[in-house]
Structure 1
Amino acid sequence: MTRVLLVSHYYPPHVGGIENVVRHEALHLTRAGAEVTVLTSGPRTVTEEDEGVRVVRVAAWNGVEERTGVPFPVLSPRVLAAAVRWARWADVVHVHDCLYMTSWAAGLGSALTGTPQVMTQHVALVEHPSVVVRAVQRAVYGLAGRLLLRRARRVLVVNGRVADFVTAHGARAVDHLANGVDTHLFRPPRSAEERRSARREFGLPKDRVLVLFVGRLVPKKGYDLLVGAADAGYDLVFAGDGAQETADAPGVHHLGALAPDRLAGLYRAVDLFALPSVAEGFPLTVQEAMASGLPVVTTDDPGYAPYRLADAGVRLLPRDGGRLRGTLRELAGDEELRAAMGRSAHARAATDFAWEQHTAALLRTYAAAVVRRMPKAPA
């Protein structure tokens, strides 16, 4: 049985992308037979169990996030002792992102105990509007980040942009591994009646082609670009938090942010998915839409290149409102083309992006990184 120490600055119930990925990895690794401990932050120091996963929380102050929106917990010095203790127990230490105090402590614990370290780097430098935040990022990546990346046996990334970033910061062995998606929850409708029922549930028109956008309603995500591509041939459906200047416009439906099970039902209610975002690489919503059997229209980001999404029926466009409107009008008027693209997208998601495939790839990565030794159980 492989003993894995997963390290994340946050873990559910805290809401965020990295913590959701880590929880899914922890649960699926456990189901695959690994023994998993998660080292993370919390309001107090405590050890809990989450469906067979040991969760070690170290007390942290979250004032940075509360005051600035930057998710950076400041941990108690106890994190160092906890990191050493659980690194000694583990066969492999898997650190998520190198920007956080949990990561720095785990890197030190891994070095002191000789435990092999694997990293997942989720993002490159985030172009935050604050000059101070950008400067701090650069300093951390240039110091602690570089040390962590150089020491990692393998660095896993979700797109080509992050691969270039970690290579420039000293990573020696880089592999692409997309985040997993729950292909049991996110699936195509089983019948026309299920689609009609989903439309009734969300109060959506039964006789219109529906184009779905999921994400924060901000320019980076392409919300304004999609609103500008509105057309008489289809309605726009928005799921996410943010500005809703067009809430009363005809043919535009705002549903707000939705829990995953509700969001899965919404994917089954619509006809196609559009995300004209910028500088994202490979958003999870694209994977969810593909798993749900939807044709996908998104920005031709270089980060997609390793996944050959065009071969899976995904339309990759320049970030241009006219091209976006033209493509959406084409797809809205061709039901057979939408169905063919949706089948290709679903097949690719089921083959490459399901959590079971993600977990199997992690276990292979761990096996390649692990130095055979007999870890001691913690006192």
Structure 2
Amino acid sequence: MRIAMLCHRYLPHIGGVEIVVKHLASELARQHEVSVIAGALPREQRVSHEDSVKVHRLAALDLSDRFGIPYPLPLGPGMKGALDAVRNADVIHVHGSLYLTSAVAAAIARRREIPLIVTEHVGLVPYRRSALNALQRFAWRSVGDFVAGAASALVACGDRVARWMRDRYPRTPVHLVPNGVDCKRFCPLDDTRRLRARDTFGLPRNRTLALFVGRQSEKKNAKAVLEIPRDHFDLVVCGSERRVQADGVLDVGTLPYERMADLLGCVDFLVHAGVGEGFPLVVQESLACGVPVVLLWDPGYAPVIDRDAIRACDTLEQFRAEVLSLAVDHGAREKLRRMSRDYAERRWSWTATAAEYLRVYQSAVVQPDGAIA
């Protein structure tokens, strides 16, 4: 099967969607012909073969990324080859309904009658600023409805987004497909490797470390996390060039994805207070590393993870209290550490996720004689 997969950005640009697409494309490419088309910085524009995946990185202009809303607009060389990969595909799979590349792919799918699969990772995200909410609603009416309306099937990785799409697009099948995790790469570190990793990142050896991972976006609630008193722990922040300078805050900036397993493995627990998520991939990867998680709970997470696998909090006030409690309770952290790895191994794998996506593709790609491409 020839699969064309489109996303707004791709590694080495760091983000949850980029990482999901990387793992999914690599897994599917074991048996199928997979092309990835994504926006990139002009200096990164190229076509390459990575893990048997043909990657088209298109030079793109992105004026909104600095405001926490990535929206690359591809331009310049490489467009013809990328569009050919989309036109010649047996199935087109776009990640995110609102991007220009998704709209172009939807138009091609309609014109050439190619099955279109749309994975919506976040849906309608609630922001504090009314202008952002109004902009989102306009984007969904003008772009999102066109893309989702062309889809043979819709996919979400969390139940909140799945329910939202079922309500908005009742005539289109909606599948809940949780993301996987690479349990070989993301695994617990022994004491020697943990200390070595801390040294590599310039982190203190003898302090309790909490880790916050997230790009510069209002929905990540970084401000609320930074306001938690740090008398008994240091906070490591990662995922954006924030350049935070405050007592007890260690800013490691944006790291290559290849280094994230070591960073996760050397801290004592992860804190995630984001809202409007499908399901945070970094939570899955933390558990695979045997690292406890304090998570601001969304009821839509329930089909993906059990509440008792993490420290689940329904409000930011509870979140603050759990962080302070776990920071001083070594016994509780060790108990969670032992169960976290086992839970991740039992629940998630990219092989299983790719197999589920393949079933979605095959249900859409049916030949006139009833055979599957």
TM-score, normalization by structure 2: 0.83
Aligned residue number for residue 297 of structure 2: 300
Partner secondary structure for residue 55 of structure 2:
strand
Aligned residue number for residue 55 of structure 2: 55
State the aligned residue count: 365
| Equivalent AA in structure 2 for residue 147 of structure 1 | F
Task: Determine the C-alpha separation between the residues in 1 that align with 2:285 and 2:204.
Answer: 22
- Given that 1:6 and 1:95 are in contact with CA atoms closer than 8 Å, whether structure 2 keeps it comes out as yes
Superposition CA RMSD, Å: 3.3
Task: Determine the C-alpha separation between the residues in 2 that align with 1:117 and 1:76.
Answer: 25
Aligned residue number for residue 254 of structure 1: 251
Alignment pair present for 1:263 and 2:260: yes
Task: Determine the C-alpha separation between the residues in 1 that align with 2:132 and 2:217.
Answer: 20
Query: 5+ unaligned residues in a row in structure 1: which ranges?
Result: 375-379
Aligned residue number for residue 313 of structure 2: 317
- Given that 1:244 and 1:254 are in contact with CA atoms closer than 8 Å, whether structure 2 keeps it comes out as yes
Deviations 1:257-276 (A, max 9, x none): 22223332122212111122
Aligned residue number for residue 34 of structure 1: 32
Bigger radius of gyration: 1
Partner secondary structure for residue 95 of structure 1:
strand
- Given that 1:281 and 1:302 are in contact with CA atoms closer than 8 Å, whether structure 2 keeps it comes out as no
Cα displacement (A) at 1:95? 1.6
Q: How does 1:1-379 map to 2 (within 5 A)?
A: 2-31=1-30, 33-41=31-39, 43=42, 47-56=47-56, 62=61, 64-65=63-64, 70-75=70-75, 83=83, 85-87=84-86, 89-126=88-125, 135-170=134-169, 172-189=172-189, 191-216=190-215, 220-241=219-240, 243=242, 247-249=245-247, 251-311=248-308, 313-321=309-317, 323-372=318-367
Cα displacement (A) at 1:117? 1.8
- Given that 2:126 and 2:133 are in contact with CA atoms closer than 8 Å, whether structure 1 keeps it comes out as yes
Cα displacement (A) at 1:316? 1.0
Task: Determine the C-alpha separation between the residues in 2 that align with 1:11 and 1:96.
Answer: 11
Partner secondary structure for residue 303 of structure 2:
helix
Task: Determine the C-alpha separation between the residues in 1 that align with 2:266 and 2:145.
Answer: 45
Query: 5+ unaligned residues in a row in structure 2: which ranges?
Result: none
Cα displacement (A) at 1:314? 0.7
- Given that 2:125 and 2:276 are in contact with CA atoms closer than 8 Å, whether structure 1 keeps it comes out as no
Task: Determine the C-alpha separation between the residues in 1 that align with 2:246 and 2:293.
Answer: 26
Partner secondary structure for residue 266 of structure 2:
coil
Partner secondary structure for residue 293 of structure 1:
coil
**Residues 152/360 of structure 1: CA separation in 2 closer, same or farther (3 Å cut):** same
Cα displacement (A) at 1:365? 1.8
Task: Determine the C-alpha separation between the residues in 1 that align with 2:60 and 2:294.
Answer: 41
- Given that 1:29 and 1:359 are in contact with CA atoms closer than 8 Å, whether structure 2 keeps it comes out as yes
Cα displacement (A) at 1:27? 1.6
Q: Percent identity?
A: 34
| Equivalent AA in structure 2 for residue 177 of structure 1 | V
- Given that 2:14 and 2:239 are in contact with CA atoms closer than 8 Å, whether structure 1 keeps it comes out as no
- Given that 2:33 and 2:53 are in contact with CA atoms closer than 8 Å, whether structure 1 keeps it comes out as yes
- Given that 2:270 and 2:286 are in contact with CA atoms closer than 8 Å, whether structure 1 keeps it comes out as yes
Task: Determine the C-alpha separation between the residues in 2 that align with 1:254 and 1:94.
Answer: 36
Task: Determine the C-alpha separation between the residues in 2 that align with 1:160 and 1:87.
Answer: 29
- Given that 1:8 and 1:102 are in contact with CA atoms closer than 8 Å, whether structure 2 keeps it comes out as yes
Task: Determine the C-alpha separation between the residues in 2 that align with 1:357 and 1:371.
Answer: 22
Cα displacement (A) at 1:65? 4.5
